[in-house]
Chains A and B, each alone.
Chain A
Amino acid sequence: MTAFKHDEFSYRYPHNVYGHVPGSHSGSSLGTGDRFAGFADLFDYPDPRRIDIRASVRNNMANGGISANDRWLVRRFQQRSTVTLWLLADMSKSMSVSNVNHQRLANLAHMIAHSAIGLGDKFALAGFDSHWRQDISIMPTRQRNMSTIAADLIEQAAPASAPGSEGLIEAANMISSPHAMVFLASDFCCDISIIEKTLRKLSHYTVIPIVWQHDDVDHLPSHAGWTEMRDAETGQHHAVWMRPTMKKRWQSAMDEHFEKLSTCFMRHRIRPLLVDGEVTGEQLTHYFMGMKKS
């Protein structure tokens, strides 16, 4: 078991949450909370502790003085509610090329679980490669030690049995919580259509894509001469004689892919978080601070 940094980030669910379990996000249900949500008649809400005398008097005066059918108004508040933080973790082989690796993914999982459970929210995990990885999945839970368990699960995961990231769609189907923030951690080196399909499916959740960027040399290892390569996913051998025109074609293919990806995110009004190397709590905090409050 590796020791994980107890890094944290603060986040806020951008929408109102409906739910009877008290939490830390603006809920749509009324109850105890700090956010005023109007008045109600004492008869409807018999909670004399919250009688607002000033408001009642003002209301009665406005209706023509104190009379027998004066109404007593009770203050009402929105109840704070909980959400579930889902992590969809890409476990495919391309996620273990040099600076992008399972160790870092495990750190991320630890951080998300730690932050979520600390705030009283639930955490859930679904791993995927070419299929949904049941062995690297955790159903929504508030269990305190889940952060470490999740990290260990990822770190000690068996390697992918088949190339591809098609399991993403399957994993997305697992999300059943009514209110969820979905962290989608991947290098996004796969067909854009898979991403598109997944995002459509997750359209009523808040999706935070964490785009893990590979080093340039892990995409384009040489500028000149004979270059032999092995695809991290498929293990297929490729070899090219590198020269300026080849480099141009290669570079443009890369640019095209990532452009398509950002267009795709834009269409779904999602801002991706681009990272290389370790993901820190600070980065995520910043991300959420920048998130437009609706």
Chain B
Amino acid sequence: MSLMDLHWSQPYLLLLLPFALLPWFNHSQEKTIAWSAFVPKDPWSTTVGLSLKILSSIVLISLILGLAGPYEPEKKVERLGEGAEIVLLLDRSRSMDDAFAVKTQAALVSVGKKDSKRRVAKSYLTEFVKKRPDDRFGFVLFSSQAIKLLSLTYSKEAILATINANAIGKGLKDTNMPDALIKAAEMFEDQPYRGSRIVLLVSDGGQILTEEEEKKIASLYKRMKISINWIYMSSMVGVTLDASDSDSYLWEDLPERKLHDFFNSTGIPYQAFEARSLKTFAEAIDEINQQQYQTLIVEQTLPRVSKHQPFYIIAFLAMLALTFAQVYSAWGVRKAHE
């Protein structure tokens, strides 16, 4: 690491550098003597004088350089980690304000309470994010339209703040699933392929897609090698994504079932987790957490490293020599006066 590679947090202090020349012009410790013809010629003294002046300049230079705040700028390094790049696709529609996992229809009317689906999703997602040190997260918020809110970032603080913000207030209007899925996939656009890519969809409903939309989504996800994980938060106990014998006939044409079928049919890596209770939601999150550990190129930002210490050490050592010389010299003058 050479001096030239360093960055300076207070570069204007470098303007003080000419002060390092002061010792070469300083005569304030001089004694006026009657006749210099008595002063012996001494080459050794010339050497000592030169080194003392150089040492003084070194102290001044190192102090000024140290004060100018030298640092190695933050560096982006790539390392291999374990994890995935995950885009959280969170449903912000009004239905997510409903209570999660209640037994009866009547209990659905507890709007915006602690047990609302959005709150539950928030607390588990927070846990999930905290468990995954190497992952890169993005965030897409969707209701009647999707917004690519947070581009893929390593900042846990940013993603957690976004997840938390998402739990505040009431939901927006309705759900625009196809737009959301497309926008989520677009988050990976122009990104180098670093490792496993996941769109983690958290919603309580589906939507019937048009054929055109289906085609577009399927090709987009295939091209970008994105897998879909869907945490389906059903409002009522009993509704499943897969058809079964005990189904109510009312459920057959549920949009979520259609969406589930579509995902299954495209051949995109897809997994659905049906969260029916807090427990199953936690299990779903854990399962994703355990599955999604593949080798991933992690871009890590090494924080800036302050480099003033070596300068201060140099200044201190040179100063130590100078101080000894000065104290000794002052003692010599004192002796001459005795």
Whether A and B touch (Cβ < 8 Å) is answered with yes
Residues of A bordering B, CB below 8 Å:
94, 97, 100, 187, 189-190, 214, 216-234, 236-242, 246, 249-250, 253-254, 257
In the bound assembly, the distance between CA atoms of A67 and B193 in angstroms comes to: 161
| Residue in B closest to A224 when the chains form the complex, CB atoms | B332
Inter-subunit contact B30/A230 (CB<8 Å): yes
Inter-subunit contact A239/B45 (CB<8 Å): yes
Chain A residues with CB below 8 A from B335, complex form? 222-224
Inter-subunit contact B33/A236 (CB<8 Å): no
Q: Which of B27, B30, B35, B332 contacts A225 (CB 8 A)?
A: B332
10 pairs across A/B with beta carbons < 8 Å? A97-B32, A189-B34, A189-B37, A216-B336, A218-B33, A225-B326, A226-B49, A228-B27, A239-B49, A254-B38
In the complex where A223-B336, A240-B42, A246-B40 touch, is A229 in contact with B31 (Cβ < 8 A)? yes
In the bound assembly, the distance between CA atoms of A189 and B45 in angstroms comes to: 24
Inter-subunit contact B331/A224 (CB<8 Å): yes
Chain B residues with CB below 8 A from A254, complex form? 38
Q: A263 CB to closest chain B CB, in angstroms? A: 18
In the complex where A222-B332, A239-B49, A241-B49 touch, is A231 in contact with B325 (Cβ < 8 A)? no
Q: Which of B35, B52, B329, B330 contacts A233 (CB 8 A)?
A: B35
Q: Does B165 contact A (CB under 8 A)?
A: no
Chain A residues with CB below 8 A from B325, complex form? 225-226
Chain B residues with CB below 8 A from A237, complex form? 27, 30
Q: A136 CB to closest chain B CB, in angstroms? A: 21
In the bound assembly, the distance between CA atoms of A239 and B39 in angstroms comes to: 9
Chain B residues with CB below 8 A from A238, complex form? 36, 39
In the complex where A222-B333, A241-B48 touch, is A228 in contact with B42 (Cβ < 8 A)? no
In the complex where A217-B337, A228-B30, A237-B27 touch, is A222 in contact with B40 (Cβ < 8 A)? no
Contact residues, B299-333 vs A (CB, 8 A): 325-326, 328-333
Consensus secondary structure, chain A interface: mixed
Inter-subunit contact B330/A225 (CB<8 Å): yes
Chain A residues with CB below 8 A from B329, complex form? 222, 224-227, 242
In the bound assembly, the distance between CA atoms of A249 and B44 in angstroms comes to: 14
Q: Which of A234, A239, A250 contacts B38 (CB 8 A)?
A: A250
Inter-subunit contact A227/B333 (CB<8 Å): yes
Known: A94-B35, A238-B39. 16 other contacts (CB 8 A): A219-B34, A220-B33, A221-B333, A223-B336, A225-B333, A226-B52, A226-B326, A227-B333, A230-B27, A232-B33, A234-B36, A236-B36, A239-B45, A240-B42, A246-B42, A253-B37
Chain B residues with CB below 8 A from A221, complex form? 31, 33, 333, 336
Across the A-B interface, give the 3 residue pairs with the lowest CB-CB distance, nearest first. A225-B329, A224-B332, A231-B36
One digit per residue, 1 when the CB lies within 8 angstroms of any chain A CB and 0 when it does not, for chain B 7-40 equals 0000000000000000000010111111111111
In the complex where A221-B333, A225-B328 touch, is A241 in contact with B38 (Cβ < 8 A)? no
Q: B42 CB to closest chain A CB, in angstroms? A: 6
Q: Which of B32, B38, B326, B336 contacts A232 (CB 8 A)?
A: B32
Most buried by B among A219, A227, A230: A227
In the complex where A224-B328, A224-B329 touch, is A229 in contact with B38 (Cβ < 8 A)? no
